[in-house]
Structure formats: C-alpha cells, structure tokens
Amino acid sequence: MLKERFDLKAERMRAIEARAAALGRRATTPGAAVAVLRGLANEYEDLSGVKPAELCRLDDCKGVRLLEGVFSGEGSVRSLREAYVMITGDSRLTGKAENCSQSNMLEFMTGESFRLTEAISASSFVNVLGAAVSRQMLRYYADLPLLGAWRKLVQVTSVDEFRPIRRVKLGGFGNLPTVMQAGSYNQLASPGDESYSVAVTKRGGTETITLESIANDDVGLVREVAREMARAAAHTLFEFVFDFLKDGPVVYDGLPLFHVDRGNLGSAALSLAGLSGSYLAQSRFQDAVLRKRHYIRPKFIVVPVDLEEAAFNALQRNLNLDKTFIQSRGLEVVPAPYWTDVNDWCLAGDPTAHPTIELAFFGGREDPELIVSDLPTGGSLFSNDQATYKIRHVYGGAVADWRAFYKNVP
C-alpha cells in the first residue's frame, strides 16, 4: 500500500513536469516560461512540501557550502574547476545544460528536498555561485572596522519607500510655571517644530564571472571580486556619511550645515586651546524656534589623517599626570582618511543623546546585496559564457540637527 502511494505521488509529479514542459515550449519569452513554472508551484508544494528552485532559499544548499569552502580555502575542495564539475556534472566545462547531470544538480543545488528539474537546469548554478560569492562578500564587508566608523555619528532607521519622508522634530515647553494653592493650571505654550526630509537612493553596479575563470581555476580572481565589492560598498557608505561634515551641504533650514550665522563655523587650529573654545561654543547652542536648551556635549573629533596624531596628543595627560578639562570629557578621535583639506576638523555630538544625522536603509537592510543580474537562456548555464552579478545598496541620509556639529577651517 505504501509503495502504491509513492508510485502514485511520483506519477503525479511526472504528469506536472510534462505539463510544465509542454506549456514552457509554447511560451514565447523566457519570462513567460518562468510564469508557467511558477503557476504550477502550488501543485509541487502540495506533493513535496517545497517550492520550485527559483523560489527556494539557498541557505541550506550543498553547492553553496562547497563553493564557500573553495573561496575561504578551508573546504575539502580547493579547486573552483573541481567544484563546478561536482555541482553540475559538466566535466568538459561546456556551460551547456545538455552536458550536465540532473542528479548532481539536484543534489548540490537544492539540498534534501525535491525541486522542479526544469527550473534547475536553467539558472540555478549562477544562483548558487552568486550565493557563495555573496556570503564571502558579506564576511569581508563585516571585517572592515575602520570603514564602519560612520555608525558613531548617525541614528540608523528603516524606510519602506523611495519617496522623500518628512521627519518632524517637536520643540520644548520651557520651564513649568508655578501653580498657587487652589489656583488653576494654565495652558502651556505649544511647542514649535522643525522638519527635514530623508530619501533613499540605490547605489551599485555589475561584475561578471566568466566560464574561462572557472575553467582556469581562478579562485583568487573570484575571491578578489567579492573582496573588492565589499570594499567598494563600505567606502561608499563611509564617505556618504562623512561628506556631510566635509562638504557642509545645505540642510533643512536653507543654510549650509556650517555657517558663521549659526555660530558653528570657526577658524581655530587643532590644539588643546582650539578644542576648548570649540567645545564651549557648541555646548552653548540653543534653539529659539524649538525653545530648547540642548546642552550638547561633543563626543567625537573628526579629523583627516594628517591631524590624527595632533588630536590624539591633545587628549593626553600633562607631565604632572593631571587631566585638563577637555581631556576629562572622554572625546574620541575619528579619522576620515579620504579628506584632503589637511587642516579642517570637526566636533560631533553623541547620536545616542541628541539628533545628529539620520541614516535610513531601505527595508532595514544595512548590508549590500549581491543579485544575479541576467539569467541564462537557451539551455546554457551562463549568459554569453559569463555570470553577471549586481551589487546593490539602498540608503539615504539627512542632517537632523545642525547643532550637533561644529567645524573649524583654519
């Protein structure tokens, strides 16, 4: 009885495959063929409990783990060419689906569960390779602590749309008035408000991995693609945040971030005396519109690498080991290596205590993504003998309050 049930299930699966193949042959475009296959997804899910290959996550895929070991140098297989042959069965490295082993591809590209064979032979290898490269890229991305210093200056948020989103800052009520015995409570003066807008933007590009690089067993090339994509994404985000301080763009109130009318633009050289004066000036900032006394306390000294040593030395104790006032404030030096104005330096407030810069990520995804850019067609594992991958990072930012920043341009 059990055998008959399995036979019936297998027969139903074969019938669905035949229907998919027949409908797919009638599809006039690759997109239409994919739509046909997706239309049969529910039937497969009913039988096997999983979705077709193009809808499945690759986290548990054996092929991804195999390629990860190749790229990290820690797996039992160290050869990219050998890994490709193991995954696809294409021992002559033709890149053609007709020369691949369906059993190999099912084993390495889908894990334990049964998936739709028609979908596997079309595009799964570039997805598996992309997933392995993506994991390697994210490891490199996480291992760049200097380029992660942007987190010190911002408040991170999440948005779910691309249009500008208006943020409103509510003002203060001032001191509470005294209420006399048996007296009435008067209406407090309504606080003022200010607003700014933040919108996210896509950043990215494409890179290709060719059939030749696999045939030549060029593991180093693929590893460098992952490494350099990570560095590019990290540098771009780092500079996006620190450009607010470097360039001083026009912000929500129509003035540049740093302006003499604000009182947050000075001309002091970086020294203990310069730090003391700038620290005092920023600490005195008030907000007439919001009627707030901010009591801002600078937290970070942002400098080009040319001033990093001077900033560090200014915060060291004197010969008698007594700390000065500024040295007791716990300021942290943050270098911005790409800054070219070697004398400019900034003070920045603590984003945990006061609005600074809002950095919004689309969908809350803070890490860059690696996506297959073009799917192969015509019975090939590759498109034009190469797999093209797109790196995408979506975020945007805006200054939330200019009072959190003070700049000196000697």
- Are 150 and 90 part of one and the same domain? no
Same domain, 100 and 215: no
Written as six digits, the tokens of 364 are 């809350």
Picking from 124, 101, 99, the residue whose alpha carbon sits closest to that of residue 111 is 124
pLDDT digits (tens, 9 = 90+) for 112-134: 443 433 344 445 677 888 888 99
User: What is the reported pLDDT for 43?
Assistant: 38
Burial state string for 180-207 with b = 16 or more CB within 10 A and e = fewer than 16: eeeeeeeeeeeeeebebebebeebbeeb
Tens digit of each residue's pLDDT (9 = 90 or more) over 148-180: 999 999 999 999 999 999 998 877 777 788 999
* Model pLDDT for residues 337-358, shown as the tens digit of each residue: 999 999 999 999 999 988 999 9
Check whether residue 408 and residue 346 sit in a common domain. yes
CA distance 270 to 406: 13
* Predicted local confidence at residue 123, as pLDDT: 55
Give yes or no: residues 285 and 387 share one domain.
yes
| Domain edge (last residue) among 101, 122, 142 | 142
Evaluate whether residue 240 is within a structural domain. yes
Please tell me whether residues 121 and 232 are part of one structural domain.
no
Domain-located, residue 44: yes
Instruction: In whole angstroms, give the CA distance from residue 75 to residue 88.
Output: 18
Same-domain status, 149 and 89: no
How many domains does the chain divide into?
Answer: 2
Res 368: pLDDT: 96
Same domain, 78 and 153: no
Q: Which residues pair with 287 in a beta bridge?
A: 292
Q: How far is residue 379's CA from residue 33's CA, in Å, rounded to a whole number?
A: 13
Q: What is the pLDDT of residue 23?
A: 45
Query: Six-digit token pair at 164?
Result: 């500008």
Q: Judge if 358 and 303 occupy the same domain.
A: yes
From residue 221, alpha-carbon distances to 31, 141, 227, 352 in Å are: 32, 17, 10, 42
Inside any domain, residue 291: yes
Under DSSP, the state recorded for 148 is G
For residues 63 and 154, state if they share a domain. Answer: no
* Residue spans of the chain under pLDDT 70: 1-60, 97, 110-124, 287-295, 318-320, 374-383
Of 142, 164, 180, which one is at a domain's C-terminal end?
142
> Same domain, yes or no, for 26 and 119?
yes
Cα 80-126-79 angle, rounded to 5 deg = 5
Q: Are residue 95 and residue 156 in the same domain, yes or no? A: no
The secondary element (H helix, E strand) that includes residue 286 is strand 286-287
Say if residues 408 and 346 touch (Cβ distance below 8 Å).
Answer: yes
Identify whether 315 is part of a domain. yes
Q: Which pTM value belongs to this model? A: 0.76
Enumerate residues 6+ apart whose C-beta is below 8 A from 270. Answer: 301, 303, 307, 310, 311, 314, 343, 345, 408, 410
CA pair distance 219, 213, nearest whole angstrom:
8
Asked whether residue 179 is domain-assigned, the answer is no
Q: How far apart are CA 82 and CA 206, in angstroms?
A: 26
Domain range for 93: 11-142
Predicted local confidence at residue 215, as pLDDT? 86
Mark whether 133 and 218 lie in a shared domain. no
Specify whether the CB–CB gap between 299 and 331 falls below 8 A: yes
